[in-house]
């Protein structure tokens, strides 16, 4: 049928988008130059400006790009979500390389802006490609009541749960490690003396890769996680996952006080596929989930 966007202004790349028709807006993100990211991650490409640092604000009705928001050089904004309450002109985006979660909001003059509300620290390491390892927050999901935000960190390996009702900055109320480059037994060692998590096993299977895509049940009690990001990045950072495949696992959520725990009775292992090990990425739940509907 043709491209959705109209006009001559077009982003250099695209990754994710979310929209809120009541505010006549769509926000999209960019990943980077396909000539770069399809071949694996090279830090030099960030310095060369090959990865995105912009959010793109679109007029929902005319399909025209009306505003660009700079999240900082090398930030790489990835996944974006609006709150479910349609009257609120507010959303959140993960910035992979800067380790930030940024709040997107409409100002009184009708323009949009963003601000960093969470900053995940880098970890000094040995045995890795750089002397410091960023958190690399990738996916995020917001509970149906807009109280909790869940975020995955694909390099450090943890899943985080934030309480959005705490202002001005969300409060960390849950955290659990699922694989990651920092787990014990690997080549990477923290040089700051910080703790490194044990390798996670569920039903006797060691979880490969690290938390990437997330999906939350409508009642907010079950958070599902996959651990593969992108084929060449998997091969670069988690080569064992190429041979062993990855998994879907379930985290149980404390929706009263906040908190995350691994459910050791649930596992989908893609290492046993009949035509070879597979790597699962996106998920959708039958009957609806917390990212399947936009409210008008």
Residue 217: which domain range? Answer: 120-272
State how far Cα 218 lies from the chain centre.
19
Torsion, Cα of 237, 231, 153, 243 (10° steps): -60
Q: Is 61 a member of any domain?
A: no
Q: Is 208 a member of any domain?
A: yes
Q: Is 228 a member of any domain?
A: yes
Q: Is 63 a member of any domain?
A: no
Q: Is 159 a member of any domain?
A: yes
pLDDT in tens, the chain (296 residues): 888 899 887 887 889 999 999 999 999 999 988 888 899 999 999 999 999 999 999 999 999 999 999 999 989 999 999 999 999 999 999 999 999 999 999 999 999 999 999 999 999 999 999 999 999 999 999 999 999 999 999 999 999 999 999 988 999 999 999 999 999 988 999 999 999 999 999 999 999 999 999 999 999 999 999 999 999 999 999 999 999 999 999 999 999 999 999 999 999 999 999 999 999 999 999 988 998 877 88
Q: Is 20 a member of any domain?
A: no
In this prediction the pTM is 0.95
> How many domains does the chain divide into?
1
CA 136/CA 287 separation, integer angstroms: 31
Q: Is 167 a member of any domain?
A: yes
CA 108/CA 285 separation, integer angstroms: 37
Q: Is 36 a member of any domain?
A: no
């Amino acid at each position: 049928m043709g491209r959705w966007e109209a006009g001559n202004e077009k982003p250099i790349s695209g990754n994710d988008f979310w929209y809120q028709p009541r505010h006549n807006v769509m926000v999209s993100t960019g990943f980077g130059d396909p000539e770069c990211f399809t071949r694996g991650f090279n830090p030099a490409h960030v310095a060369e400006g090959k990865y995105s640092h912009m959010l793109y604000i679109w007029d929902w009705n005319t399909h025209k790009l009306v505003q660009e928001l700079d999240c900082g050089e090398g930030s790489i904004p990835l996944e974006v979500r609006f709150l479910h309450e349609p009257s609120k002109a507010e959303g959140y985006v993960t910035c992979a390389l800067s380790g930030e979660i940024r709040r997107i909001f409409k100002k009184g003059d009708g323009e949009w802006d963003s601000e960093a509300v969470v900053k995940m620290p880098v970890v000094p390491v040995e045995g890795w490609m750089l002397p410091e390892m960023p958190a690399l927050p990738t996916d995020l999901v917001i509970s149906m009541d807009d109280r909790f935000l869940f975020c995955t960190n694909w390099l450090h390996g943890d899943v985080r749960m934030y309480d959005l009702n705490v202002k001005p900055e969300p409060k960390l109320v849950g955290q659990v490690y699922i694989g990651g480059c920092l787990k014990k037994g690997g080549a990477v060692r923290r040089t700051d003396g910080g703790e490194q998590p044990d390798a996670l096993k569920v039903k006797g299977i060691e979880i490969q890769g690290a938390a990437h895509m997330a999906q939350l049940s409508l009642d907010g009690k079950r958070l599902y996680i996959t651990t593969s990001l992108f084929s060449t990045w998997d091969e670069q950072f988690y080569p064992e996952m190429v041979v062993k495949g990855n998994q879907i696992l379930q985290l149980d959520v404390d929706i009263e006080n906040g908190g995350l725990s691994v459910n050791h009775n649930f596992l989908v292992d893609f290492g046993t596929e009949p035509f070879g090990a597979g790597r699962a990425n996106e998920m959708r739940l039958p009957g609806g989930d917390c990212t399947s509907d936009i409210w008008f």
